[in-house]
Amino acid sequence: MQIKTPDWVKDAVFYQIFPDRFAKSQQPGSRIAHQIPLESWDAPPTLQGYKGGDLWGVKEKLDYLQDLGINAIYFTPIFQSACNHRYHTHDYYQVDPLLGGNQAFLELLEDCHRRGIKVVLDGVFNHASRGFFFFNDILENGPYSPWLDWFKIQDWPLSAYDGSLPANYVSWVGNRALPQFNHDNPDVREYIMQIAEHWIKLGIDGWRLDVPFEIKTPGFWQEFRDRVKAINPEAYIVGEVWQDSREWLDGSQFDGVMNYLFTAPTIAFTAGDRVVMEYVEYQSYDPYPALDAPGYAAKIEELLQLYPWEIQLTQLNLLDSHDTARLLSIAGGGRESPTAEAQETVKLATLLLLTFPGSPSIYYGDEVSLAGALDPDCRRGFPPETAWNREVLDYHRQLIALRHAHPALRTGNYKVLLAEGMVYIFARQLAAEELIIAINIGTTREKVTLPVSELVSQPDRILYGDGKVTWGTTEESSHLTLQLLPRSGCVLG
């Protein structure tokens, strides 16, 4: 079948926002409650505490995001819920009142679209919550509830809160706070399809799907795609699948996945043996053992062969997320005072992220050097301006601007030119435009010379980073000599 993915995604730079932690509105009257007890914004986050970030606050930060170069936002869940991360959905038709409710979201959506910023929401359709009306009715009425077949009830009585008793219903990963839907029930299936359609009709630009691999009902995601795309053919459908995703990326289901198969080798290459194992070893990706340049090249070549090119261009590429420790901490940066080595790792990895095929996604705060260990620490409050690392913000701005300025960095071919020792060099090519990206992850200065018969031009201007460039020509071919500083990278154009 012919694969068609949304064109706008190929030009997108995403910013992932965890709404409770990004921005708290400064406007009087915009909040639903003023006297509610909230955690201090700067205090370490807890599993159950709220810090009070809201969608009005995001609206007030749009100038900042535009200045950074962001043109798409992925929000973790915003619907009514009894938890700070909102993956325990109470009502799929109501934006959480603590976030400002439906009014705040619709005004934010309108402002984003006016600025050319796309908005993708998190769809949690595998499970609901104990507070979800249909399940709550079962808790109240037991076997007399009309909604029994919406979930997977195994026995009576149900125990939704007392862990010493059997739950007697199926829940996601055994967490009784998250009863799983019975997707084989046509009414459940129709209910979820109508939720997806409702928000697409209201103007959202796509869905990020939480644990979609848990839904085994045949044809479910094919129908989901058909119904969403019937309303907006350019809607983006991206799944949270951490491993080989060919099963879902055949053109009939998702446009892309959260590309942890890019994340893992990129961390293993740039962080090397500095990876803090306790932050990664129990996660669903493997950013270890350390990779040298040939090892990284092999992983990237394997990844680029895995999916059709049209899908590669709409993958959601990332270095970290709300589900992982932040790269700054993974790379040995500690909790509060990142090491120089950790800062260098993030800089090199960000260069690889912003020059890779697919849509880069920046997790809020990474661009100002926000640290964070495993959940909930990776979900800290966005730091005040006085705490920003300006150098990190500046190179994020430069690389995002470079990506926007050069189509080859967005949709051009990806060609590995050299992978030796700790030096990795590749080209992005689109028609006559060619850029060369070179990275030295080693701790010593490197000088490399390589024949470049695959290129039609001789890019010799440094658009980003540091290095020395020399082109030479013999009768047979051209060759490029690059001198690279330790732990550095550059872009030639």
Model pTM greater than 0.75? yes
- What tokens appear for 470 in the block? 């020399």
Q: Same fold for the domain at 7-126+181-405 and the one at 410-492? A: no
Sign of CA dihedral 136, 139, 140, 146: positive
421: left (phi over 0), alpha (psi -120 to 50) or beta: left
Task: State the Cα–Cα distance between residues 353 and 410, nearest whole angstrom.
Answer: 11
Domain range summary for the chain, segments of one domain joined by +: 7-126+181-405, 410-492
* pLDDT for 334: 63
**Domain 7-126+181-405 CATH (choose: 3.40.470.10, 3.40.50.880, 3.40.50.720, 3.20.20.80):** 3.20.20.80
AA letter at 387: A
Concerning whether 234 is annotated as a catalytic residue, the answer is no
Spatial contact of 328 and 362, defined as CB atoms under 8 Å apart: no
* pLDDT of 399: 98
Tell me, yes or no, if 476 is annotated catalytic.
no
Q: Residue 477 has what pLDDT?
A: 76
Cβ contact 138:145 at 8 Å: yes
Q: Can you give the pLDDT at residue 136?
A: 97
What pLDDT score was predicted for residue 478? 83
Q: What is the tens place of the pLDDT at every residue in 463-475?
A: 999 999 998 887 6
CATH number attached to the domain at 410-492 = 2.60.40.1180
pLDDT of residue 314: 98
pLDDT, residue 34, reads 64
Q: What is the pLDDT of residue 244?
A: 97
Q: What residues in the chain have per-residue pLDDT under 70?
A: 28-34, 333-336, 475
| Structure tokens that stand for 301 in this block | 């070549």
* Residue pLDDT, tens place only, 105-122: 999 999 999 999 999 999
pLDDT for the residue 171: 98
Least Cα distance to 178 among 206, 146, 210 occurs for 210
Residue pair 469/462 in contact by the 8 Å Cβ criterion: yes
Q: Which of 96, 210, 344, 446 is catalytic?
A: 210
Q: Which amino acid is at 22?
A: F
Q: Catalytic: which of 205, 240, 366, 367?
A: 240
